Structure 1
Amino acid sequence: MIMNRLSVDSGFSGIPNIKYYYVFLFLLFIVSVMGNTVVMVIICLDQNLRAPKYITVFNLAFTDLFGSSALLPKVLDIFLFDHPCISYNDCLTFLFFFYTCFPMQALNLVVLAYDRMIAIIFQLHYHVKVTHRFMFSLIASSWLFDITVTLTAVGLLTRHSYWTSVVINSFFCDYGQIYRLACDDKTPSFVFSALLTVLIYGLPLVFIVSVMFFHERVKAFKTCIAHLSLVAIFFFPLITAITSTGVIHPNARIINLSLTSAFPPSLNPVIYVLQTKEIKESVKKLFKLRKQSKIAVKI
């Protein structure tokens, strides 16, 4: 029997003064939308940001913007306007978009780490090895892989049987929380979930750490501060959320998951604007041109 309604209100409702947390999530969403939009516009307008690396930066900003738009508005609708239920089909759609964007952030960080590795090890041949075509191919392959595994995960969920109404112990349609509620054999979904966790989060983290920390050149480490910041913000809360299942209180896990989903898209553009010299100079130039145009209008 397939359920037709899903209730997701199982954690936040028991937290005192939770309305202030909703406001905080809303502010993070606004920062994410504005920040990532600015980064995308700057990369499109500035001719100096045409290097292959910025294709990945643009894709990261797009993924953050798309992911935030897919997740936080629905979360706020559920809790602010007392809409605790979501239909089964809407839940699967919601899950597809979120799980397409969230793993893509990890894959983006892998591509950026690979770009920095080539720039450090093969400085003289960087522009030969890392071309626009090569970078577009990496990004396209990442999207294809990501969408394929997400569709497979959603397809596995549709093969399960559920009660007519269940409660998901999460703040969104969480893949793991849904398949654990199935009435039939959960083994295929469990194995697939574990495999994806290793492929999409475990191996990328090992690769990035290997590239960044085990390189002998101190100068190379300093050039990767922005990327290391993105990695820390994305992976450390995620690892905590994965390893804390069944250990910490459900409310604490739900808050941790919500912050893990909301913080990286909000902080990524800030980090890139502050830590990347080319983008910082581009922002200054745009503000300078805007100021000059205002002065010209007044004259």
Structure 2
Amino acid sequence: MVISESLIFNYSFIPSRDMSNTRWENQSSVSEFLLLGLPILPEQRGVFFALFLGMYLTTVLGNLLIILLIRLDSRLHTPMYFFLSHLAFTDVSFSSVTVPKLLVSMSTQDLLISYPGCVSQTYFFIFFTDLDSFLITSMAYDRYMAICHPLHYTTIMSEGLCASLVAASWVLSCANALSHTLLLAQLTFCADNTIPHFFCDLGALLKLSCSDTFLNMLAMFTVGVVATALPFVGIMVSYGYIGATILRVPSTKRIYKALSTCGSHLTVVCLYYGAMFGQYFFPTLSSFINKDIIAALMYTVVTPMLNPFIYSLRNRNIKEALRKLLSRATFSSQ
């Protein structure tokens, strides 16, 4: 990730420090990093702070509301909503890994993050990224079973299988994140401690290291890619079978049912993977904002915020559960 001179100029609000403390030229390692954050002018900080604070609060409240509705309404105690509740929890956690630190940096102008804090942020970012992917894949499999094997759906998608899929998602995500983090902990950082991002991005950290990063890069392009590619392939295969099933006996009623069942999930898949793939396959949009920052904002801030709206606006059961909860609250307050 390369930062231009014009971008550095926009960070004129960075508090001045003794260069011997920020560059660490005469030390063998660093104890803290400098997160440059977003390339915004000082007079724009207030607007962007209010914007990201509003988006973060919407993400937290929206996803917690989804979890509450699923827990309280017995009609939502099905495999689809079981996975959705875990996805909502993951979205809250995913945003909480990066956005609070970004908000603190924008409000206090303190851009420093300790080495342990940076490594921890890297771990949880990778962990919840993978967990999001695996949960979305589990939801795609659930939709496949509901449409392609409706007669056996209840038998196959048992509580035990759903719990096993979620548990496997947590274990695989933890293993992948832990492998990257342990390899990262072996590296030495001895010179520049400036990260041109708003969180501790693994790729940016590897570029700062003065150690041999061959094993880290190998892990990124093997374990890391597999953890991202396999869920995507699983989703595509599931929807391939769904499409083939619908086209085998095409009817307006069947197509409408499939769209109503899969529409919300497909929208989430497009948002999540669209931002992720855009980071690697599209060129930088301008010399002022790196494409990595734009993509990261999409899948750490925007997508988790939109997910509750996508599922609630297109889902009759969620809307009915919300209406029921509001009527209860109104009745109890009278």
TM-score after normalising by structure 1: 0.91
**Distance (whole Å) between structure 1 residues aligned to residue 39 and residue 107 of structure 2:** 11
Question: Between Structure 1 and Structure 2, whose CA radius of gyration is higher?
Answer: 2
* Partner residue, 1:108: 135
Question: What is the 5 A alignment of 1:275-294?
Answer: 275-294=314-333
1:122 aligned onto 2:161: no
Which amino acid is the alignment partner of residue 172 of structure 1?
Answer: F
Which amino acid is the alignment partner of residue 82 of structure 2?
Answer: I
TM-score after normalising by structure 2: 0.82
Unaligned runs of 5+ in 2: 1-27, 247-254
**Distance (whole Å) between structure 2 residues aligned to residue 251 and residue 6 of structure 1:** 20
Tell me: CA distance 1:13–1:290, structure 2 relative to 1, closer, same or farther (3 Å): closer
- TM-superposition CA deviations, 1:73-108 (whole Å, max 9, x none): 111112221111111111011212222112211111
* Partner residue, 1:225: 263
Tell me: CA distance 1:293–1:153, structure 2 relative to 1, closer, same or farther (3 Å): same
Unaligned runs of 5+ in 1: none
**Distance (whole Å) between structure 2 residues aligned to residue 59 and residue 81 of structure 1:** 33
Shift of 1:154: 0.7
**What is the SS of the residue equivalent to 1:184?**
coil
| Native 8 Å contact 1:43 1:49 kept in 2 | yes
**What is the SS of the residue equivalent to 2:193?**
strand
Tell me: CA distance 1:9–1:58, structure 2 relative to 1, closer, same or farther (3 Å): same
**Distance (whole Å) between structure 2 residues aligned to residue 15 and residue 192 of structure 1:** 38
| Native 8 Å contact 1:8 1:171 kept in 2 | yes
1:260 aligned onto 2:295: no
Question: What is the alpha-carbon root mean square deviation over aligned residues?
Answer: 2.1
* Partner residue, 2:273: 235
1:201 aligned onto 2:228: yes
Shift of 1:204: 2.0
Shift of 1:146: 0.4
* Partner residue, 2:310: 271
Which amino acid is the alignment partner of residue 227 of structure 1?
Answer: H
| Native 8 Å contact 1:5 1:87 kept in 2 | yes
**Distance (whole Å) between structure 1 residues aligned to residue 287 and residue 183 of structure 2:** 28
Q: Percent identity of the aligned residues?
A: 26
Shift of 1:11: 4.6
* Partner residue, 1:65: 92
Q: Which moved more, 1:211-220 or 1:26-35?
A: 211-220
Question: What is the 5 A alignment of 1:62-101?
Answer: 62-101=89-128
**What is the SS of the residue equivalent to 2:189?**
coil
* Partner residue, 2:184: 157
**Distance (whole Å) between structure 2 residues aligned to residue 268 and residue 4 of structure 1:** 37
**Distance (whole Å) between structure 1 residues aligned to residue 164 and residue 265 of structure 2:** 21
* Partner residue, 1:251: 289
Number of corresponding residues: 295
Shift of 1:245: 6.8
